[in-house]
Amino acid sequence: MLKAELAQRIKAAAYLTGEFTLRSGLVSSFYWDKYRFESDPALLRAVAAALEGLLPPDYDRIAGLELGGIPLATALSLRTGKPALYVRKEAKTYGTCNLVEGGFRRGETAVIIEDVITSGGQVVASVEEVRALGLVVNDVLCVIDRQQGGGENIGAIGCSLSSVFTLSALERLVGGDTVVPAV
């Protein structure tokens, strides 16, 4: 699928307008409801194919962040044959009490998968926690980078950020001024 077509399909499925408070605390006049593109099987397949093209050449596991990164990591795992990990926002307090589900060995390399990144705060926290458990993390992939500091914050902890779309690219591909961020 062409990137412009994928952008149009994501916009049609997931672009909402109004007043939204983002996880970063910023208020925005628009919102990319990632669950709408992640819950559509055909669109999820297309997004996973686009993410696959961003994967680094060498890694052991695909780590999806709770909650939006989980279906993306699963879809990528199915495409690549690489095992998936599921990273919770906090370790559960029962059973195995794991922060990271799926099993891994210290020293393995994981690629972090997220849906939409604004400031990158949760990604940074999760990468630091995953590293403390012994995984090597150098790469973060997302579907949409809202270009509001996430790349810089992720870079500050020694990771690269690659996205299927940046906010400015989406604006070019879907036209108009429909995706200008509000601060």
Q: The CATH number of the domain where 84 resides is what?
A: 3.40.50.2020
**Rounded to 10 degrees, what is the CA torsion of 132, 133, 135, 138?**
-30
Does residue 69 form part of some domain? yes
- State the pLDDT at residue 26: 82
Q: What pLDDT, on the 0 to 100 scale, is given for residue 21?
A: 92
Is pTM, for the whole model, over 0.85? yes
Domain that holds residue 103: 48-168
Q: Which residue has the tokens 């429909």?
A: 178
- pLDDT averaged over the chain? 92
What burial letters (b/e) apply to 141-154, b meaning 16+ CB within 10 Å? bbbbbbbbbbbebb
pLDDT single digits (tens) 78-127:
999 999 999 999 988 998 899 999 999 999 999 999 999 999 999 999 99
Counted domains in the chain: 1
- pLDDT at position 179: 42
Residue 92's pLDDT is: 85
C-alpha distance from residue 92 to each of 83, 129, 134, 176 (Å): 21, 14, 19, 44
Q: Is residue 175 part of a domain?
A: no
- Residue 134 inside a domain? The answer is yes
User: 110 lies in a domain?
Assistant: yes
Residue 41 has pLDDT above 80, yes or no: yes
Q: Which residues pair with 61 in a beta bridge?
A: 110
Q: What is the pLDDT of residues 147-179, one digit of tens each?
A: 999 999 999 999 999 999 999 999 898 865 444
Residue 78 placed within a domain: yes
The answer to the question of residue 31 being in a domain is no
Residue 9 is assigned to a structural domain of this protein: no
> pLDDT value at position 183?
34
DSSP bridge pairs for 30: 17
The pLDDT score that the predictor gives to residue 123 is: 97
Domain assignment of residue 139, yes or no = yes
